[in-house]
Structure 1
Amino acid sequence: MTDLVGIFVFAISGALLAVRKNFDVFGMAVLAEVTALGGGLFRDLIIGAVPPAAFTNLGYFVTPLVATVLVFFLHPQVERIQRGVNVFDAAGLGLFCVTGTAKAYDYGLGLTASATLGLASAVGGGVLRDVLANEVPSLLRWDRDLYAVPAIVGAAMAALCIRFGILNPLTSTLAVLTALSLRLMALKYHWRAPRAWHRSSVTTEEPERVMP
């Protein structure tokens, strides 16, 4: 049930971006599905868990469609509760980085590779969403609050727990909560990753183009 909540919230973010980009309902559904399932699909293909869960669990496929319908009719109201959506998005981030790490390890990968795929599970869908929407992925932008770092911390905690044989529901929850807390604190205090020292070039953000 918790994974469906994470999928739902990730799908909301994809559908909202589609609305901002003036996509039609099909485009909204595509971005919702990709955002919600892209990271897990990538992980499953890498570890050989085929067919991927996204294609064997009907709930995984239908949940983003439900999110699409909600945003299609109620996107102004959804935008107004963006803070609440961010909380659930952070929870989904923490959940997927931990469960992704554990699943990758169960399929025979080493700890480092498992943590890497845990990170990919958490952030991969967002990267695909931004690429399809012709945006620089938020993961790579210096002017965005930390997103990958909390997922890295959560995945690393899960990998360490596996290493010492103490990964259980309690320690998994602790790793999820740690990633969740870091993400929420980054949103509140606008924590951002440092850029290169002594940069000689200055990059300015292009103004957002208004779709006709």
Structure 2
Amino acid sequence: MDTFFYWFDHLGVAVFAVSGTLLAFRKNMDGFGVVVLASATAVGGGTVRDLILDLPVFWAYDPTYIYTILAAAFTTILWLRLRDYIHQKTLLIADAIGLAFFTVMGAQKALEAGFPAVVCVVMGTVTACFGGMLRDVLARDIPMVLKGELYATTCLVGGSVYVLLAPYTALTALLAGGLVTLLLRLAAIRWQWSLNVFHEHNEGHR
């Protein structure tokens, strides 16, 4: 099972690296910009998670993650060279898939380290959201986590599903938590679901 989690984590890194590369393409960045954006997206959240939990930063002691990022970025570049345009929805879908992977993997790592359930859910959310937030800031976009549609909330729900099911069956928990996160995020994009707490107001009226 540890081997499965390991390669599942690599798959999540690859998906978020693709997401970073897609945004770099839309912003007309050079090769260095592609690598920076792909890397920040792929390992930013996991790095923050490990630092908060006082654990060894995962990619620092296992450089194969760096090779995964480079391979994913290079493959995406080859694919993009055949296209003149990439639709914004493609980036949103790639980001949603990465969100699902990292939510459950972040929660799993915290759970494995013996942290309380609520901390595991929060760490899953941090792992999933921070890399994308860093990507968007570097690209001078409004971070997706701050936009109207549900984003971090989907991670909290998916992470909770994983933590609740993990004591019974690890594989089912992983798949269920990831699927819930993905479906919620895709539904939020499709139907523009949000959690509005303020009514619309006019700045001119006091």
Q: 2:181 aligns with which of 175, 179, 185?
A: 179
Maintained 8 Å contact 1:6/1:88: no
Maintained 8 Å contact 1:94/1:151: yes
1:31 aligns with 2:33: no
Maintained 8 Å contact 2:106/2:125: yes
TM-score, normalized by length of structure 2?
0.82
Write the distance in 2 (CA, Å) between the matches of 1:158 and 1:73.
35
Maintained 8 Å contact 1:38/1:125: yes
Write the distance in 1 (CA, Å) between the matches of 2:98 and 2:27.
24
TM-score, normalized by length of structure 1?
0.80
Aligned to 1:150: 154
Aligned to 1:208: none
Aligned to 2:4: none
Aligned to 2:80: 75
Instruction: Describe the SS at the equivalent of 1:15.
Output: helix
Q: How many residues align?
A: 197
Within 5 Å, give how 1:183-198 maps onto structure 2.
183-198=185-200
Aligned to 1:95: 101
Q: Which amino acid aligns with 1:56?
A: Y
Runs (5+) with no aligned partner, structure 1: 203-212
Q: 1:117 aligns with which of 116, 123, 129?
A: 123
Q: Which amino acid aligns with 2:77?
A: F
Q: What per-residue deviation string (whole Å, max 9, x for no partner) do you get for residues 76-107 of structure 1?
A: 55755876665554333222212211211332
Maintained 8 Å contact 1:9/1:85: no
Instruction: Describe the SS at the equivalent of 1:196.
Output: coil
Distance 1:2 1:105, change over 3 A: closer
Write the distance in 2 (CA, Å) between the matches of 1:85 and 1:138.
11
1:9 aligns with 2:15: yes
Q: CA deviation at 1:184?
A: 2.0
Instruction: Describe the SS at the equivalent of 1:200.
Output: coil
Q: CA deviation at 1:55?
A: 1.7
Q: Which amino acid aligns with 2:21?
A: A
The more displaced of 81-90 and 153-162 is 81-90
Aligned to 1:65: 70
Runs (5+) with no aligned partner, structure 2: 1-6
Write the distance in 2 (CA, Å) between the matches of 1:16 and 1:170.
31
Q: 2:170 aligns with which of 151, 168, 178?
A: 168
